[in-house]
Amino acid sequence: MPVPTATPKPAAPFLPMTRPTIDDETIAGVCEVLRSGWITSGPKVKEFEAKLSAYFGGRPVRAFNSGTCTMEIALRIAGIGPGHEVITTPMSWVATSNVILEVGARPVFVDIDPVTRNIDLSRIEAAITPATRAIMPVDLAGLPVDRDQLYTIAKKHNLRVIEDAAQSFGTTWAGKRIGSFGDFVSFSFHPNKNVTTIEGGCLVLNNEAEAKLAEQYRLQGVVRSGMDGMEVEIVGGKFNLTDVAARVGLGQIAQVDAFTTRRRELARLYFEKFSTLAARSTSLLLPVADFEQSNWHMFQVVLPEEKLAVKRAEIMTQLNAAGIGTGVHYPAIHLFALYRRLGWKAGDFPHAEYFGRNTLTLPLFPTMADSDVTRVVETLVAILQQHLRS
């Protein structure tokens, strides 16, 4: 007789680092747009911009096809170009500093605060020179930069602020939504963001004059008048959002508060599980536990490289083999080849370099189950304990 064998347990489904949440109503709405025949920029973009403006307290908002061009356009509206400097952080997606180069200016990096992982505001004034024209901070993982201190510095030195708020839609500061106050505020709607339009972004501006200029930069510098009037006064680009994307965005805005609430619940659970499983024995560094202001765009831990016998890539490989996706956000910008050619080198910004080597982004998105958090924490802790130096 054949020996009976145990039925193998099915492997747990792969858990990605992030996954957009798009409901059936939004999908049906996209189909309506496709059937309408008007699929590029049109009425849905106007409606989306109106909703965004209302969300940000009535400020002018213009939508674009990325959260990168929004920063470039803000720099151009601010008159920043060759010979100018913009202070920013080396701990961000490289787009933050690339747009500064794109307008002909030079990024001036300031190291990060090792607690918040955002730009260290206490170091900014030492980096200001006669060529400095703006500060471009980043709310890493949705944790807000101290807006009071930031704008005090900017006002003192007569600097513009272009907030790279790509990751902070739904984040607040002192009870006010990021984007509802301040100078230029740029958001990304990439699929890995808390609110998505598939690809896209928006720029919150100060007045209608800036908004009109943003529209010119958005589409080849064109200004239309009457039935057939057309003029081009500046060099613009091709940065317009489609109605298809805007319809996705409309569905997202309706759910953003629920998304943020669920993300905060999952973040709290991460802290609870790491504490319960005595993860401190692995010397993991957890993020700031801000459950009032942060939108928890990402949950990032920092690996203790000095105590591990393997590099981050091996930890990620083993998590992937266990069905858990992770990410790297971000390598220190100044160590990319492009920036090394411009004069930066290892050792310039030690905090950013350490975090760039060791930060690990764990899964976090609204449709995750509580049990997914438990699985991630248990698996990560077990892997780390295997690789701790004796």
> What is the torsional sign of CA 95, 143, 169, 121?
negative
Distances (CA, A) of 154 to 19, 121, 147, 171, 183: 37, 11, 10, 21, 10
Average predicted confidence (pLDDT) for the chain: 95
Q: What is the pLDDT of residue 3?
A: 44
pLDDT more than 90, % of the chain: 94
Q: What is the pLDDT of residue 280?
A: 55
For residue 16, pLDDT beyond 80: yes
Q: What is the pLDDT of residue 4?
A: 45
State pLDDT tens for residues 270-326. Answer: 999 999 886 556 789 999 999 999 999 999 999 999 999 999 999 999 999 999 999
| CATH class of the domain whose range is 24-253 | alpha beta
Q: What is the pLDDT of residue 281?
A: 65
Domain boundaries defined on the chain: 24-253, 256-387
State pLDDT tens for residues 51-82. Answer: 999 999 999 999 999 999 999 999 999 999 99
Under 8 Å CB-to-CB from 106, ≥6 apart: which residues? 84, 85, 86, 100, 131, 342
The pTM of the full predicted model, rounded to 2 decimals, is 0.95
The Cα–Cα gap between 235 and 214 comes to 12
Q: What is the pLDDT of residue 233?
A: 93
Residue 342 burial (CB count, 10 A): 13
Q: What is the pLDDT of residue 216?
A: 97
Question: Which CATH number is 256-387 given?
Answer: 3.90.1150.10
In contact, 377 and 273? CB cutoff 8 Å? yes
State pLDDT tens for residues 99-158. Answer: 999 999 999 999 999 999 999 999 999 999 999 999 999 999 999 999 999 999 999 999
Q: What is the pLDDT of residue 6?
A: 45
Q: What is the pLDDT of residue 204?
A: 98
Active site residues: 193
Mean pLDDT for 28-37 is 97
For residue 336, pLDDT beyond 90: yes
If pLDDT is split at 50, 70 and 90, which confidence band does 5 have? Answer: very low
